[in-house]
Amino acid sequence: MNKIRYIAILLLMLAGGLHPATATAAENGEVDVNHLVFGHIGDAYEWHIATLGDTELKIPLPVIVHSSTGWHVFSSSRLEEGAYEGLSVAAEGPYEGKIVEHAADGTEVRPLDISITKNVLGLMINSAVLLAILLGCTRWYRKHPASEQAPGGAVGMMEAIVMTIHEDVIKSCVGPDYRRYAPYLLTAFFFVLINNLMGLLPVFPGGANVTGNIAVTLVLALFTFFFTNVFGTKEYWKEILWPDVPVWLKCPVPMMPVIELFGIFTKPFALMIRLFANIMAGHAAILSLLAIIFITVKAGPAVNGSMTFVAVAFGIFMDALEVLVAFIQAYVFTMLSAVFIGMSRVKHEH
């Protein structure tokens, strides 16, 4: 069982979920589960890759902030020994884990922070991977006319996925105007899918919790909000501002219009929370299961041995389940976006 425990420690360290400061404590059953879980799913100013003995493999990322003394651009490695240029990483409080500057009275002030963090770098890498895949498919189609040869392998798989989303989701949910929204919806599907799958990889360049970051899902939801309401038909806005209900529900108290206007914002909010919560919960569940191994060390070899077996078995099961969830969440986000856009394209029926 000790071998399994050491393997679990190694996997956690490779995934960036267990840093060297907690590796020794893990072997002794003194793991801070909150730090273990939220240290992985949270953002950081460096990308921890692995620890080999006393050597810590990590990538320091560029810090770009604007404080009261102007712009500061430097490597995050400068902050390892403490404050640098009046800036430091808050150890606790509302800004825990974020760069702050200290005011004259000692209070921590949050400067404008546009640093390249772990999630930002992960977003760039995942976008580059997606672009490389799509350009590879484009190159194949340029060399092989579709009328002469059917694609196979990875290109054939991509074509099958594109046709499925295009025909079964976009075309059927949006309606006659589906062509103008197909580029966005297909992009959203593959963007969410690639980021979900890359987040499951235990080693660099995977492991970044991009779609488990609410800022990313917020931007995706805002895009759907924009396409839904800016390009909505007159009939769509009429049903919101003056719905087909009894007059007393609209005047003098605009009860139904207020409810409908409220619904405009709840739809993208549900998109944002659904994707964020599902992806974050998956990462947290896997790390929490593996943490059971170290929590039960002091309970004795019998309890720890049995819980080690259970935790590793369920961890493998959860990893396999998260691959399925990665596809499901990308599909659900695209389908709901298509449904909301389709609802905004309603036209008057004579």
The answer to whether 174 and 181 are in contact (CB under 8 A) is yes
Q: Work out whether strand 62-67 and strand 99-102 pair parallel, antiparallel, or are unpaired.
A: unpaired
Residue 172 has pLDDT above 60, yes or no: yes
Query: Which pLDDT tens digit goes with each residue over 251-293?
Result: 787 888 888 888 899 999 999 999 999 998 888 888 777 777 7
Phi/psi at 200 (nearest 5 deg)? -85, -15
Q: 296 vs 185, which has greater pLDDT?
A: 185
- Of 144-158, 177-191, 203-217, 333-347, the range with the lowest mean pLDDT is 144-158
Q: Is 304 exposed, middle or buried (0-12, 13-18, 19+ CB in 10 A)?
A: buried
Rounded CA gap, 184 and 217, in Å? Answer: 15
Q: What is the CA radius of gyration of the chain?
A: 25
Whether pLDDT at 55 is above 60: yes
Query: Around Cβ 128, how many Cβ atoms within 10 Å?
Result: 12
Band of the pLDDT at 177, cuts 50, 70, 90? confident
φ, ψ for residue 16 (rounded to 5)? Answer: 85, 5
Cα distance between residue 61 and residue 47, in whole Å: 7
Distance between CA atoms of residues 24 and 297, nearest Å: 12
pLDDT of 6 > 80? The answer is: no
Integer angstrom CA distances of residue 89 from 42, 65, 116, 296: 14, 12, 15, 32
Contacts of 136 (CB under 8 A, 6+ apart): 154, 155
Nearest to 75 by CA among 67, 63, 85: 63
Distances (CA, A) of 155 to 55, 126, 144, 301: 41, 19, 11, 51
Q: Report the pLDDT averaged over residues 311-339.
A: 89
Given CA atoms 126, 130, 133, 139 in this order, what sign does their dihedral have? negative
Give residue 8's pLDDT: 53
**pLDDT for res 15:** 45
pLDDT (0 to 100) of residue 10: 47
Instruction: In the chain, count H helices and then E strands.
Output: 11, 8
DSSP string, 127-165: HHHHHHHHHHHHHHHHHS-TTT----HHHHHHHHHHHHI
- Each residue's pLDDT tens digit, 76-133: 888 887 888 888 888 887 888 889 998 777 788 899 999 999 999 999 999 999 999 9
Per the CB < 8 A criterion, the answer to whether 72 and 87 are in contact is yes
